[in-house]
Amino acid sequence: MSDREAGPLAGYRQFLSLRGDVFVLSVAMFAFSLGFQMTTRFLPRYLEVLGASALVIGLFSTVGNLISAVYPYPGGMVSDRIGSRYALTLFGLASTLGFGVWLVAPAFGTITIGGLSIQPWLWVFVGLVLAQAWKSFGLGATFAIVKQSVEPSQLARGFASTETFRRSAFLLGPLVAAGLLSLHPSFELSFRYVLAVAVVFGAIATVVQHFYYDASDDSFGDSFAGVDQIREDLQEMPSTLRPLLIGDTLVRFANGMVYAFFIIVVTSALTSDVTIPLPVIGSRSLSPDAFFGVLLGVEMAIALLVMAPAAAMAERVGLKPVVATGFAVYAIFPILLISAPATAPVLVVLFAISGLRFAGLPAHKALIVGPAEAGAGGRVTGSYYLLRNVIVIPSGALGGALYGGVANPVGTGQLIPESPLLAFGLATVIGLVGTGYFLLFGEEFKAYR
């Protein structure tokens, strides 16, 4: 294997060679991912500014998990009725509208109806229900078309191509957000600039996929048989996936406990602006909120550098070691973040380490879809993620309860004491258990043995 085939740019080269329908869908995915990454990682801070408690922020994460779990199957039903092209357009419009609801949420203020006060942060939940539509619908389709397009022994590299392109938005989105957040000292106002740009990206992506995506050759999402189909798909899931599913679910549950609080930890720890050197324009002072966007950019820059080489390495050492490495980084990052010195250089190093978790993502996806029978990649993927996402649903609420505590409803004091260290420490323990389980019982995909 040449350095050209295994280098960081390999994902882009392979992506550009994909067939037209995959290419157009991925371009739309890029635009929506750009909108999501400009906004969603900052929404916990937005909620905090709008008056939400730590428990509410954790519940917001739980609602996001719930939507991720339940949306794909109704999305398939809609697609069956109106066709995937119009379904993607409908979900694109819904996501764009969701960005718009986030944009205007502060304008609603506190509304009192029948003695019940509706806080402005509640509209962020409403926006989430809409914004998540396109993201949740596209997952199974993406897996299926990649499986149809590459050889079994190169699945990890096939996923690396689409992931590298999509994750480029994960790099650009936070950096664009950081620039916009630096335009005004008020986070509430500057973040609304970010949301306005996200609305524009969502509208452009919806138009592009509607007019240029050709769904005539789709072999996924042709039918939906309801709950019985879900039960059958779960029962027929390849047995080799079960150790991966258990380990992955524990790791994701752990991450879900604290993921929403990463920005809260960073912005709380940095009590003053951060000065960073920039090419050409010189040093620039950034608020903690804007600096968090830079940290996300560092994280994703590392991810983009390592994904394609890691996928190529998997062809030599197997998928399992690469996946386990990603799991391990997921697991240890929370305790490193909560316990490390609150300085800008240390945070940059930590988020660079966090970027290594994406090295295992293409191999992870290959390990999921690889054992599936021909023509069943989308169903296996849907079943896997449905079960994982359902179990992970309460993780955010649990993390929020531990992070911010829960008041005693029948007396004074707290029913659950406030302890960010406990929340992040427990997340690391659960993540390490999941990683260990996968190392002990996980099976290698035979095409990579």
Q: What is the DSSP string of 92-105?
A: HHHHHHHHHHHHHH
Round to whole Å and give the CA distance between 29 and 23. 10
28 pLDDT band (50/70/90 cuts)? confident
Rounded average pLDDT over 88-98: 90
Round to whole Å and give the CA distance between 445 and 33. 29
Tens digit of pLDDT for each residue in 138-150? 555 555 555 555 5
pLDDT of residue 108: 87
User: Regarding predicted confidence, which is higher, 8 or 420?
Assistant: 420
For residue 154, pLDDT beyond 80: no
Tens digit of pLDDT for each residue in 389-412? 899 999 999 999 999 988 777 767
Rounded average pLDDT over 338-346: 91
Residue 415 sits at φ, ψ, to 5 deg, of -70, -40
User: Regarding predicted confidence, which is higher, 304 or 58?
Assistant: 58
Rounded average pLDDT over 147-172: 66
Are the CB atoms for 157 and 10 separated by under 8 Å?
yes
pLDDT of residue 1: 44
For residue 261, pLDDT beyond 90: yes
The C-alpha angle with vertex 17 and arms to 14 and 20, in degrees rounded to 5, equals 130
- Average pLDDT of every residue of the chain: 82
User: Regarding predicted confidence, which is higher, 79 or 203?
Assistant: 203
Written as six digits, the tokens of 325 are: 């490495």
Residue 176 sits at φ, ψ, to 5 deg, of -60, -45
pLDDT of residue 155: 58
6 pLDDT band (50/70/90 cuts)? very low
pLDDT of residue 111: 82
For residue 373, pLDDT beyond 80: no
430 pLDDT band (50/70/90 cuts)? very high
Nearest CA-CA partner of 310 in 365, 269, 266: 365
CATH classification at residue 241: 1.20.1250.20
Name, in order, each residue with C-beta under 8 angstroms of 255's C-beta and a sequence gap of 6 or more. 330, 334, 395, 427, 431
Q: Write out the residue range of the structural domain in which residue 401 sits.
A: 3-215+222-448
Rounded average pLDDT over 363-367: 81
pLDDT of residue 406: 83
For residue 164, pLDDT beyond 90: no
For residue 20, pLDDT beyond 60: no
User: Regarding predicted confidence, which is higher, 385 or 58?
Assistant: 58
The C-alpha angle with vertex 47 and arms to 71 and 261, in degrees rounded to 5, equals 80
Name, in order, each residue with C-beta under 8 angstroms of 417's C-beta and a sequence gap of 6 or more. 405
The C-alpha angle with vertex 106 and arms to 102 and 112, in degrees rounded to 5, equals 115
Q: How many domains does one find in the chain?
A: 1
CA distances from 270 to 34, 282, 289, 337, 442 (A): 26, 22, 9, 13, 40
pLDDT of residue 7: 47
Residue 242 sits at φ, ψ, to 5 deg, of -65, -45
Round to whole Å and give the CA distance between 370 and 377. 8
Round to whole Å and give the CA distance between 417 and 403. 8
- List residues bridging with 285 in a β-sheet: 275
pLDDT of residue 70: 80
Name, in order, each residue with C-beta under 8 angstroms of 306's C-beta and a sequence gap of 6 or more. 8, 355, 356, 358, 359
Rounded average pLDDT over 1-9: 47
Tens digit of pLDDT for each residue in 194-248? 999 999 999 998 998 888 766 665 544 444 455 666 677 667 677 778 899 999 9
Burial string for 265-301 (b: 16+ CB within 10 Å, else e) reads bbbebbeeebeeeeeeeeebebbbbbbbbbbbbbbbb
Residue 411 sits at φ, ψ, to 5 deg, of -170, -165
Look at the block and give the residue holding tokens 């986030």.
102
Please report which residue ranges of 109-154 form alpha helices under DSSP H.
122-149
